[in-house]
Amino acid sequence: MSDFELVKCTDLVKWTAFVSSSIHGNKYALAEVISALGCSADYWFINRKGNPVAAIPIITHNSVGQGLPIHSYYVGIMLHPEVTSSKDNRRTECEIAITQFAMEALSLIYDQFEVSLHPTMKDIRGFDWFNYHTPQNGRAVISPQYTAISNLQPITNIRDAARGSRRREEKYAFQRESLLFSYDGTVDELLSLYKFTFARQEIELTNETLKATRQFAEYLIESQQGDIAVVRDKEGKAVAAGVVMYDFHKVAHIPVVGTGESRYGGTLLYFQMMEHAAKKGYQYMDFNGANSPNRGYFKHSIGAKAQLFFHVRWVRP
C-alpha cells in the first residue's frame, strides 16, 4: 500500500512557497497566473508522513479552450528539493513512485487531465507505467515537445551563439530602418501586434484568446513580474513587441510576441530582450516553445538551444 496521500491545497501562500522552492517550479504554476490566463484549477499536494513531497495543479476550466492555459509551459508536477537533491538511484525511485501515485490518485477524481512537465524532470516512466498491464483502463498519452533556451551569461554569449546573419540583421534594424528599442511598450501595442502576427497567417484570434492575453500581460506589469519590450520606427510607431516574464531560478520567459511590417524589428526585439534580462541578472531565457518549423528555425538561429520536455494527457476510456 502506498504511503502517499493526495491533499488539496487551500493555502495559496504555502502553494507559492512550494512552487518557488522546487526546481520544477515556475510562475506558470502559480494560482494568480493561472487565473490571469482565464483558467481555474485544483491545487494538490502529494504528502508523505504529513509533509508535501510534490505538488501538481490540475486545470478544471479554461475560458480559451481545452487543456492547459494559453501561453503557459510546465504546468505540471513539481518535486520537493529533498527529492531532487538525493542520490540518483534514490531520486529515480522517488520520481517513479510519486508520479505513479499521482496518476492513480488523480484518475479517481477526474475523467481527464493534462500536465506539462518541466525539462528538469529526469524520469517520466511513472506516467507511462500507469495502467501498463491494464491498458483497457486508459494509459497516459505522452507527447514530446520542444522549447528553445538561451544561456544569457556572460552577456557576450548572447550574440556569439547566434548566426552571423542574425547579428547583421540587428545592425540593419538601426542602420537601414532607424528602429529604436525600449521598455515603454503598452498592452494595447502588444495585443495589436500579436493580433496582426496571426492575421498575416490568415488566423483570426478569438475574443477569449485576446482577453486572456490582455489579462496575463496586465497582471505581469501590474505585479512587476514582467515588462513589455517594444521596437519603434522613427515616427514612434510600434513595429514589434514582446512581454518578458521574470521567473524563479534566474529564468526569464518570452510568452507573447507580436511583429508588424518591419524586416528586422523582430530580430532586434529578441536580442535586446535577452540583453536586458541578462543585465538584470537572469541566467537563461526560455523562448516558450519551438514546435513549428518557422518558430523553431528563428529561435535557434538567434542562439537558443533545443530543449526537450513532455506533455502528459490522460482520458478515462
Between residues 19 and 122, the one the model is more confident about:
19
pLDDT at 11 over 50: yes
Q: Is the pLDDT of residue 191 over 50?
A: yes
Q: Does 1 have pLDDT greater than 50?
A: no
pLDDT per residue as tens digits for the range 147-170: 999 999 999 999 999 999 999 999
What confidence tens digit (pLDDT) does each residue in 218-274 have? 999 999 999 999 999 999 999 999 999 999 999 999 999 999 999 999 999 999 999
Q: pLDDT class for 2, splitting at 50, 70, 90?
A: confident
The percentage of residues in the chain with a pLDDT greater than 70, rounded to a whole number, is 100
Considering the chain, what is the average pLDDT of its residues? Answer: 96
Residues 12-34: tens digit of each pLDDT: 999 999 999 999 999 999 999 99
Q: How far apart are the first and last CA of the chain?
A: 25
**Could you tell me which of 71, 69, 72 has the C-alpha nearest to residue 257?**
71
Q: Which domains does the chain have, with CATH numbers?
A: 4-139 (3.40.630), 148-308 (3.40.630.30)
Looking at residue 29, its pLDDT comes to 98
Across the strands, what pairs with 227?
244
Percent of all residues in the chain with a pLDDT value above 90, rounded to a whole number: 97
Q: What Å distances lie between residue 305 and 23, 169, 277, 285, CA to CA?
A: 20, 20, 17, 10
3-state per-residue secondary structure call for the chain: CCCEEEEECCCHHHHHHHHHHCCCCCHHHCHHHHHHCCEEEEEEEEEECCEEEEEEEEEEEECCCCCCCCCCCCCCCEECHHHHCCCHHHHHHHHHHHHHHHHHHHHCCCCEEEEEECCCCCCCHHHHCCCCCCHHHCCCEEEEEEEEEEECCCCHHHHHCCCHHHHHHHHHHHHCCCCEEECCCCHHHHHHHHHHHHHCCCCCCCHHHHHHHHHHHHHHHHCCCEEEEEEECCCCCEEEEEEEEECCCCEEEEEEEEECCCCCHHHHHHHHHHHHHHHCCCCEEECCCCCCHHHHHHHHHCCCEEEEEEEEEEECC
**315 confidence band (pLDDT: 50, 70, 90):** very high
Specify whether the CB–CB gap between 161 and 270 falls below 8 A.
no
**Predicted confidence (pLDDT) at residue 99 exceeds the cutoff of 70:** yes
Encode pLDDT of 197-216 as tens digits. Answer: 999 999 999 999 999 999 99
